Amino acid sequence: MQSDIEAILREGEAAIAAASSTDDLVQVETELFGKRSALSGAHRALGALEADQRIAAGRRLHEVRGALEAQVADRHDALAATERAELLVADRLDLSEVIPNLVRSPLSRGHLHLVSQARDELEDVFVGMGFEVAEGPEAESDWYNFEALNMPPAHPARGMYDTMYLDIGEPETVLLRTHTSPVQIHLMEEAVRNDTLPIHAVMPGKCYRLDTPDARHLPVFNQIEGLVVDRDVTFGDLAGTIQTFTTAYFGEGMQSRLRPAYFPFTEPSAEFEITCAICRGAGCRTCSNVGWVELGGCGMVDPAVFAAVGIDSDVWSGFAFGFGIDRLALMRHEIPDLRSFMENDIRFLSQF
Ligand code: PHE
């Protein structure tokens, strides 16, 4: 009997050590402690023993059961820990994959808006042609936006500009500029004050009109204005400047042309058109099949404007032009709707 009990202990220890998973161990437990186990058999056999032998064997049997139970518990802890570790490895999210990307492209923080990029490029092109870059205020008085530009109160041309007025001072005296042309007035006044004529400048900036947003209009948009005031400036200089700019910005093969138009602050005035950047002049939907797209207005500075700022138009002459930066970017990148510029959709913005 005694040797049977020791055999149960040895075999039990071996079986526990051999269990390779917690499931396996459950199986081993049933085999060790179940009704049909050697342990239970030995218990039942106790009854047939002499009293003193029964006591000794019973005690030993109790010890062996306790020892095996403790070993099962230890083995269970060890196996469960290994299994949990394996599960963690298998389920692991490999966040380290993101790190090399971040390290490789530290500039993925973002970039300038497409319209800002276009404005910077335009400035570069004009600086390369000898222009300086100037800026003016977005809130203007009626004088700068209209009157000095040869649009006295009630002038019909004011109707071209759906003006947003600010609630400052007398009604309709302070406004958000409807075009960048008032910056011309600031530059000319300053040049007269400081006696620094001639002027060769471009003036980019935001403009405002009370327009309902649609595919081709935004109530806030960007223009770039150009102004040259010098001796003996001709309409040919204006046409040449526009053509030089067109090839510098869009590349060889792009043409510009002028068509008669009217602006109160230039005389003669023209609209300038350039070869459609999308079809290169062949005709497409964007240019309504004519091969040309209208970009902006231009003309020779009207003597009435020179008079308003105190420049002698017998000595000085000049030309001016202005066009929309947003529309230019739109054309160059074949964007169907101007509103995309304002929607702040990162999927759109990150493409440029
Ligand atoms: N300011 C005009 C506009 O926004 C464009 C223009 C600028 C025309 C300069 C002529 C000369 O409509």
- From 235, 265, 272, the mutation candidate for ligand 1 (largest count of ligand atoms within 8 A of CB) is 265
**Structural domain of 121:** 114-349
Phi, psi of 72 (to 5 degrees): -60, -45
Same structural domain for residues 17 and 127? no
How many other CB atoms sit within 10 Å of the CB of residue 69? 15
> Does the CB atom of residue 264 touch ligand 1 within 6 A?
no
Going residue by residue through the chain, which has 352 residues, state the pLDDT in tens, using 9 for 90 and above: 778 888 888 988 998 999 999 988 888 888 888 888 888 888 888 888 888 888 888 888 898 889 899 999 999 999 999 989 989 888 887 666 555 555 566 656 789 999 999 999 999 999 999 999 999 999 999 999 999 999 999 999 999 999 999 999 999 999 999 999 999 999 999 999 999 999 999 999 999 999 999 988 999 999 999 999 999 999 999 999 999 999 988 888 889 999 999 999 999 999 999 998 888 899 988 788 999 988 999 999 999 999 999 999 999 999 999 999 998 898 888 888 999 999 999 899 999 9
Provide the number of structural domains found in the chain. Answer: 2
Atom of ligand 1 at shortest distance to CA of 207? 4
Give 297: exposed, middle or buried? Use CB within 10 Å, 0-12, 13-18, 19+: buried
Q: Tell whether the torsion through CA atoms of 72, 75, 81 and 83 is positive or negative.
A: negative
Q: Is residue 107 part of a domain?
A: no
Residues 6+ apart with CB under 8 A from 224: 119, 122, 126, 180, 202, 203, 204, 205, 322, 323, 325
Q: Is the pTM of this model over 0.85?
A: no
Residue nearest to atom 9 of ligand 1 (CA): 321
Query: Mutual orientation of helices 38-46 and 51-91 as an angle, nearest 10°?
Result: 160
The gap between the terminal CA atoms of the chain, to the nearest Å, is 88
Task: Say if residue 55 is in the same domain as residue 126.
Answer: no
Q: For ligand 1, is residue 266 a contact (CB within 6 Å)?
A: yes
Residues 45 and 164 in one domain: no
Q: Whose CA is nearest to atom 4 of ligand 1?
A: 179
In a domain, 97, yes or no: no
Instruction: Give residue 66 CA to ligand 1 midpoint distance, Å.
Output: 100
Q: Answer yes or no: do 81 and 122 share one domain.
A: no
Measured CA to CA, the distance from residue 190 to residue 196 in angstroms comes to 8
**Domain annotation covers residue 127:** yes
Return contacts of 292-295, CB within 8 angstroms, 24+ apart.
292/257, 293/331, 295/323, 295/324, 295/327, 295/328
DSSP for 150-186? T--TT-GGGGGS--EE-SSSSTTSEEE-SSSHHHHHH
Specify the pairing of strand 256-263 against strand 266-275: antiparallel
Residues 81 and 199 in one domain: no
Give a yes or no: residue 106 inside a domain: no
Burial (Cβ within 10 Å: 0-12, 13-18, ≥19) of residue 102: exposed
Peptide bond preceding 204 in cis form (omega within 30 of 0): no
CA of 302 to the centre of ligand 1 (A): 12
Interval between CA 298 and ligand 1 midpoint (Å): 6
| Domain presence at residue 48 | yes
Q: Is the CB of 297 under 6 A from ligand 1?
A: yes
Question: Is residue 242 within 6 Å of ligand 1 at its C-beta?
Answer: no
Any atom of ligand 1 within 6 Å of the Cβ of 320? yes
Is the peptide bond between 182 and the residue preceding it cis, with omega within 30 degrees of 0? no
Same domain, 155 and 86: no
CA 132 to chain centre: 30
How far is the centre of ligand 1, averaged over its atoms, from the C-alpha of 224 (Å)? 10
Ligand 1 neighbour 179 (Cβ under 6 A): yes
Residue 161 lies in a domain: yes
Point out the domain boundary residue: 43, 58, 91: 91
Query: 224 - beta bridge partners?
Result: 204, 323
